């Protein structure tokens, strides 16, 4: 189901009847929001601060909150792909699991996932080079592969672990991973920073060791290390910085001799 | 079914009809003297413009490179979805729409005849399969013959007649319509990692020059009596300073013209009209080209207008596409089609604030406005290279209104604006001239007898636009013009109403026109190829000869045009 109409920007200024009539694609059929969901309106919300609360499983609903610029969406349950795609402002909070392409190509605003997220967090649509430009994505659980693909700005924080290719092709911005990374962090990155506080099996060979840093600053928060600092991806003339926790990765000590 | 279009303001330049109120009668898919009004379906076109169906002389709509472009760009399609209806199929749009969507969208803007300009002969089968799936519109396709090994060999040895025989076979074998030449010699040189820099440069191994290729094929075109001229994409396309090459290209076939008829068509001329010697000081060479074209009658051009949007460039010009890849750093495709030609695809965004892009935008319009005779320049964007064909209404409004041009000029790069010739040009096209550059002129250049006009006997391909030139001043009300041309009130194809107010109401199969030669020699039989082509097939190609040519039954709606050749 494609429901880009579920967004505070679109709900704002519309009457309940109009909201119920908003169009939603269910497969190849055009339906209205009222046909598919039970909708309750609470009048006491201030006009300029609209909150949309979604209760239930929205795992098959895509593009919720796409291009939203203000207001708030709260999801009590799981939610499907492309949540908050191209979002410019406002806030989305998910008390559950979020699907792939969470905050894809987002430009601003804030997304917080209490559970885990799927692959391609902040990544652009297939084929596009329009990576995340700004804003903040916070995931308390784990995330999948290729988070922050072609990212150009903003911050992604994952408190759990991530799979392969975190920050692939990254151009700028910050990715912070509290847990482990399955490997290939920063492949083809040109700039920006990736911080891995957990275990990483290996660093790809196109990164060179630069120094050891006692701590790193992420959005004003001091993360204490020490960290190996790598520069790369040299294959793409990159100057990206990869910070890898030294105590959690004793198998990388052979890099010390190159310092 | 017969149709009767009442009280329309008719613009039919080939019959010198300029906005007169006339009735048009249609029967059996053709325009006739009159029909019985009581039995016919009547369309009330009072206060509307009636024009022949639009003709696009150069639009990449089918074939392997278009399809590779589609595959390369999922992000181009994702937010432009065309859902299926009771009669139309689903598809996707933006810069390279899927085949069905291409047909529907052209019909919506009143176009009924399309020319697919670059078909590697090896990919002819694929191209015709896609053209078959492009509904409603009639189409032709031009095989790429300028870098074909046989052609290069024949021209090196000066064997024009033998070359003509080969090309006649090729046109029939690939069901083609005209000789397309892309960067003559350059594509072959690209196989050796090089390009040609001028008309006099020799092609590696073959030792033939671009000038010899263009002249040779121009002579072949004359021997074969083809309805269209040679269709040339010039050398050095897209490089600053190339306007000299373009003028030289036009000039090198000047002596081959007889009785003031055009002998060469320079396609997407905007890309070949750059002055200066680097991107930093690149300027418009439109004035010089317009001066040449105004003074000579053997040339026709099409614009290749640039639109400020995200689009996909695709051409057989492999070396140029490599340069474009280096400039943009985008994803790309480059391909060498065996012994025949090359190709390349690069997604590209034309930006208002870029000096070069804004200058290119200006050059296209300068060409159209500075060339005095609208019969010599036609409206195209080289879809999708300069922008998708859906932006034609925008270009029409720029041509018709100085104010519309000024509005866009205000938004472009400041340096480009200061150097643009547009502020000094006051010319504004009339609806009559628009009818020439979008239909009549192209029909004449293509040598189509039954298309592009509304005389008795013509095919009933008609576009009706809901705008009244007697009430609206297009110079001031350019937005109304744009609106009207982006949604034809009625599109009629072969005497059937296919679209009403931009909605498709009927889907038909368009015809595929191709050249069939009436010749006494054995060339008419496709299985008997001329010369030693058959033997060389084994050595040069990856396909068998028997699988190469396209039998007529392969085309869904075949419409051969019989031509009497001089061989």
| Residue of A28, A128, A237 to mutate for B, most B C-beta atoms under 10 A | A128
Contact state of A125 with B78 under an 8 Å Cβ cutoff: yes
- Asked if residue A203 has pLDDT above 90, the reply is yes
Closest-CA residue of A relative to B82 is A28
The answer to whether residues B185 and B173 touch, using CB atoms and an 8 Å cutoff, is: no
Cα distances (angstroms) measured from residue B463 to each of A179, B5, B400? 64, 11, 19
Element containing residue B104 per DSSP (H, E): helix B99-108
Contact state of B75 with A126 under an 8 Å Cβ cutoff: yes
Summarised one tens digit per residue, pLDDT across range B35-87 is 888 889 999 999 999 999 999 999 999 999 999 999 999 999 988 989 889 99
Position A48 scores a pLDDT of 60
Measured in degrees and rounded to the nearest 5, phi and psi for residue A61 equal: -100, 125
Side-chain-side CA neighbours of residue A171 (13 Å):
13
Summarised one tens digit per residue, pLDDT across range B422-474 is 999 999 999 999 999 999 999 999 999 999 999 999 999 999 999 999 999 99
Numbered residues of chain B with Cβ closer than 8 Å to any chain A Cβ: 72-76, 78, 83-84, 90, 330-331
| Residue of B69, B75, B330, B347 to mutate for A, most A C-beta atoms under 10 A | B75
| Tokens encoding B70 | 């589609």
DSSP result, B499-567: EETTEE----PPPEEEEEEE-SSGGGSTTS-STTHHHHHHHH-SS-HHHHS--GGGSSSEEEEEEE---
Q: Which residues of B touch A127 (CB under 8 A)?
A: 72-76, 331
Summarised one tens digit per residue, pLDDT across range B219-273 is 999 999 999 999 999 999 999 999 999 999 999 999 998 888 899 999 999 999 9
| Tokens encoding A99 | 């699907």
A vs B: CB pairs below 8 A: 20
CA distance A144 to chain B (A): 22
Closest-CA residue of B relative to A63 is B79
Position A46 scores a pLDDT of 59
Q: Which residues of A touch B74 (CB under 8 A)?
A: 125-127
Q: Which residues of A touch B83 (CB under 8 A)?
A: 28, 30
User: Quick one: three-class SS letters along B333-387?
Assistant: EEEEECCCEEEEEEEEECCCCCHHHHHHHHHHHHHHHHCCCHHHEECCCCCCCCC
Share of chain B above pLDDT 90, in %: 80
Contact state of B74 with A127 under an 8 Å Cβ cutoff: yes
Q: Which CATH number applies to A50-258: 3.40.190.10, 2.40.160.60, 3.10.20.30, 2.160.20.60? A: 2.160.20.60
CA distance A205 to chain B (A): 24
Closest-CA residue of B relative to A27 is B83
CA distance A171 to chain B (A): 14
CA distance A160 to chain B (A): 30
Peptide bond into B384 cis (omega under 30): yes
Closest CB to B75 among A28, A30, A127: A127
**CB-CB neighbours of B443 under 10 Å:** 23
Closest-CA residue of A relative to B70 is A127
Contact state of B75 with A125 under an 8 Å Cβ cutoff: yes
Q: What is residue B279's DSSP assignment?
A: S
Contact state of A28 with B84 under an 8 Å Cβ cutoff: yes
- Asked if residue B522 has pLDDT above 60, the reply is no
| Tokens encoding B370 | 């500075």
Summarised one tens digit per residue, pLDDT across range B452-465 is 999 999 999 999 99
Closest-CA residue of B relative to A4 is B79
CA distance A247 to chain B (A): 39
Contact state of B75 with A28 under an 8 Å Cβ cutoff: no
Position B193 scores a pLDDT of 86
Contact state of B83 with A30 under an 8 Å Cβ cutoff: yes
Q: What is residue B89's DSSP assignment?
A: P
Element containing residue B74 per DSSP (H, E): helix B74-77
SS3 assignment, position B397? helix
Domain boundaries, chain A: 50-258
Report the alpha-carbon distance of residue B354 to residue A26 in Å, rounded: 41
**What residues form DSSP beta bridges with A52?**
A73
Q: What is the mean pLDDT of residues A131-160?
A: 96
User: If you search the block for the tokens 């017969």, which residue do you land on?
Assistant: B2
| pLDDT interval class at A259 (50, 70, 90) | confident
Q: Which residues of A touch B90 (CB under 8 A)?
A: 28
Numbered residues of chain A with Cβ closer than 8 Å to any chain B Cβ: 28, 30, 124-130
Summarised one tens digit per residue, pLDDT across range B481-518 is 999 999 999 999 999 999 999 999 999 999 999 998 87
Contact state of B76 with A127 under an 8 Å Cβ cutoff: yes
DSSP result, B140-206: EEEEB-TT-HHHHHHHHTT-HHHHHHHHHHHHHHHT--S-EEESTTHHHHHTTT----STTPPPTTT
Closest CB to A125 among B74, B84, B330: B74
How do strand B462-465 and strand B49-52 relate by DSSP bridges?
Answer: antiparallel
| Tokens encoding B561 | 């045009």
Report the alpha-carbon distance of residue A165 to residue B89 in Å, rounded: 39
Closest CB to A126 among B74, B83, B90: B74
Position A95 scores a pLDDT of 95
SS3 assignment, position B452? coil
Summarised one tens digit per residue, pLDDT across range B170-207 is 999 999 999 999 999 999 899 888 899 889 999 989 99
Closest-CA residue of A relative to B79 is A125
| pLDDT interval class at A136 (50, 70, 90) | very high
Closest-CA residue of B relative to A29 is B83
The answer to whether residues B120 and A58 touch, using CB atoms and an 8 Å cutoff, is: no
CA distance B73 to chain A (A): 6
| Residue of B68, B79, B82 to mutate for A, most A C-beta atoms under 10 A | B79
CA distance A131 to chain B (A): 12
CA distance B210 to chain A (A): 37
Position A7 scores a pLDDT of 93
| pLDDT interval class at B539 (50, 70, 90) | confident
Mean pLDDT of chain A: 93
| pLDDT interval class at B532 (50, 70, 90) | confident
ipTM score assigned to the predicted complex? 0.83
Contact state of B78 with A28 under an 8 Å Cβ cutoff: no
Position A47 scores a pLDDT of 57
Which letter, b or e, does each residue of B327-342 get, where b requires 16 or more Cβ atoms within 10 Å of its Cβ? Answer: eeebebbebebebbbb
Contact state of A127 with B84 under an 8 Å Cβ cutoff: no
Position B524 scores a pLDDT of 55
The radius of gyration of chain A from alpha carbons, rounded to an integer in Å, stands at 20
Side-chain-side CA neighbours of residue A42 (13 Å):
8
SS3 assignment, position B479? helix
The answer to whether residues B69 and A127 touch, using CB atoms and an 8 Å cutoff, is: no
Q: What is the mean pLDDT of residues A88-95?
A: 95
Closest CB to B73 among A28, A30, A127: A127
Summarised one tens digit per residue, pLDDT across range A10-59 is 988 888 899 999 999 998 889 999 999 999 888 665 556 778 999 999 99
| Tokens encoding A10 | 């679109």
Summarised one tens digit per residue, pLDDT across range B548-557 is 889 889 999 9
Measured in degrees and rounded to the nearest 5, phi and psi for residue B366 equal: -60, -45
pTM value is: 0.92
CA distance B74 to chain A (A): 6
Closest-CA residue of A relative to B89 is A28
Mean pLDDT of chain B: 92
Q: Which residues of B touch A30 (CB under 8 A)?
A: 83
The answer to whether residues B445 and B265 touch, using CB atoms and an 8 Å cutoff, is: yes
Contact state of B83 with A28 under an 8 Å Cβ cutoff: yes
The answer to whether residues A107 and A123 touch, using CB atoms and an 8 Å cutoff, is: no
| Residue of A67, A120, A127, A129 to mutate for B, most B C-beta atoms under 10 A | A127
| Tokens encoding B355 | 């000096």
SS3 assignment, position A112? strand
Closest-CA residue of B relative to A130 is B75
Position B329 scores a pLDDT of 86
Length of chain A measured in residues: 259
| Tokens encoding B232 | 């040339």
The torsion defined by the Cα of B519, B180, B103 and B553, in degrees rounded to 10, comes to 30
Closest-CA residue of B relative to A105 is B75
B192: exposed, middle or buried (Cβ count in 10 Å: 0-12, 13-18, 19+): exposed
Q: What is the mean pLDDT of residues B334-339?
A: 85
Position B521 scores a pLDDT of 54
**What residues form DSSP beta bridges with B564?**
B518
């Amino acid at each position: 189901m494609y429901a880009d109409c579920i967004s505070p920007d679109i709900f704002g200024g519309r009457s309940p009847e109009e909201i119920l009539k908003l169009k939603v694609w269910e497969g190849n059929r055009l339906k209205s929001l009222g046909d598919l969901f039970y909708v309750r309106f609470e009048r006491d919300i201030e006009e300029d601060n609209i909150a949309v609360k979604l209760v239930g499983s929205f795992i098959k609903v895509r593009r919720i909150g796409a291009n939203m610029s203000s207001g708030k969406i709260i999801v009590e349950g799981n939610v499907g792909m492309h949540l908050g795609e191209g979002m410019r402002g406002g806030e989305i909070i998910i008390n559950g699991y979020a699907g792939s392409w969470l905050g894809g190509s987002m430009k601003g605003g804030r997304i917080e996932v209490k559970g885990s997220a799927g692959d391609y967090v902040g990544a652009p649509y297939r084929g596009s080079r329009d990576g995340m430009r700004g804003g903040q994505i916070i995931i308390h659980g784990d995330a999948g592969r290729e988070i922050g693909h072609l990212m150009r700005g903003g911050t992604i924080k994952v408190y759990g672990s991530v799979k392969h290719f975190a920050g692939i092709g990254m151009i700028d911005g910050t990715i912070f991973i509290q847990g482990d990374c399955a490997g290939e962090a920063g492949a083809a990155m040109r700039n920006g920073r990736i911080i891995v506080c957990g275990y990483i099996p290996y660093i790809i060979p196109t990164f060179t060791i630069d120094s050891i840093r006692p701590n790193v600053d992420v959005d004003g928060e001091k993360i204490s290390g020490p960290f190996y600092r790598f520069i790369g991806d040299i294959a793409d003339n990159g100057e990206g910085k990869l910070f890898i926790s030294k105590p959690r990765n004793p198998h990388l000590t052979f890099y010390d001799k190159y310092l | 079914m017969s149709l009767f279009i009442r009280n329309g303001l008719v613009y039919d330049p080939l019959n010198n009809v300029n906005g007169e109120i006339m009735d048009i009668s249609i029967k059996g898919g053709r325009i006739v003297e009159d029909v019985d009004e009581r039995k016919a379906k009547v369309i009330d076109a009072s206060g509307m413009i009636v024009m022949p169906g639009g003709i696009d002389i150069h639009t990449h709509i089918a074939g392997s490179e278009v399809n590779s472009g589609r595959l390369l760009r999922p992000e181009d399609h994702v937010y432009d979805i065309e859902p299926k209806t009771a009669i139309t199929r689903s598809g996707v749009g933006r810069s390279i729409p899927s085949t069905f969507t291409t047909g529907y969208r052209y019909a919506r803007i009143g176009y009924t005849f399309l020319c697919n300009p670059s078909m590697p002969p090896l990919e002819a089968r694929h191209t015709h399969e896609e053209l078959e799936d492009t509904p409603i519109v009639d189409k032709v396709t031009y095989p790429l013959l300028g870098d074909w090994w046989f052609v290069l060999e024949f021209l090196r040895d000066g064997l024009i007649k033998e070359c003509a025989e080969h090309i006649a076979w090729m046109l029939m074998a690939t069901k083609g319509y005209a000789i397309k030449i892309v960067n003559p010699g350059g594509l072959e040189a690209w196989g050796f990692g090089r390009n040609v820099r001028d008309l006099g440069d020799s092609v590696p191994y073959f030792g033939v020059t671009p000038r010899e290729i263009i002249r040779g094929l121009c002579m072949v075109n004359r021997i074969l009596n083809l309805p269209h001229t040679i269709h040339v994409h010039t050398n050095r396309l897209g490089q600053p300073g190339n306007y000299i090459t373009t003028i030289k290209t036009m000039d090198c076939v000047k002596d081959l013209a007889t009785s003031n008829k055009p002998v060469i068509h320079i396609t997407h001329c905007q890309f070949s009209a750059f002055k200066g010697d680097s991107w930093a000081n690149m300027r418009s060479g439109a004035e010089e080209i317009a001066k040449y074209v105004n003074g000579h009658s053997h040339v026709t051009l099409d614009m290749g207008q640039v639109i400020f949007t995200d689009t996909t460039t695709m051409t057989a010009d492999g070396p140029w596409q490599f340069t474009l890849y280096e400039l943009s750093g985008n994803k790309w495709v480059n391909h060498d089609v065996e012994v025949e030609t090359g190709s390349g695809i690069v997604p590209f965004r034309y930006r208002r604030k870029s000096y070069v892009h804004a200058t290119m935008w200006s050059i296209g319009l300068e060409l159209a406005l500075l060339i005095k005779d609208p019969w010599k320049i036609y409206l195209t964007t080289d879809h999708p290279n300069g922008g998708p064909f859906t932006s034609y209404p925008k270009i029409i409004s720029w041509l018709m209104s100085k104010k519309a041009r000024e509005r866009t000029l205000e938004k472009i790069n400041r340096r480009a604006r200061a150097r643009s010739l547009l502020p000094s040009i006051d010319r504004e096209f009339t609806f009559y001239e628009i009818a020439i550059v979008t239909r009549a002129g192209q029909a004449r250049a293509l040598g189509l007898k039954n298309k592009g006009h509304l005389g008795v006997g013509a095919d009933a391909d008609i576009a009706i636009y809901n705008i009244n030139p007697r009430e609206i001043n297009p110079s001031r009300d350019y937005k109304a013009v744009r609106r009207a041309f982006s949604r034809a009130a009625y599109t009629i194809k072969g005497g059937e109403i296919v679209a009403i107010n931009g909605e498709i109401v009927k889907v038909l199969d368009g015809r595929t026109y191709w050249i069939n030669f009436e010749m006494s020699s054995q060339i008419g039989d496709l299985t008997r190829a001329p010369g030693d082509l058959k033997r060389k097939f084994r050595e040069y190609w990856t396909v068998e000869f028997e699988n190469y040519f396209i039998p007529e039954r392969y085309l869904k709606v075949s419409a051969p045009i019989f031509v009497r050749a001089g061989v």
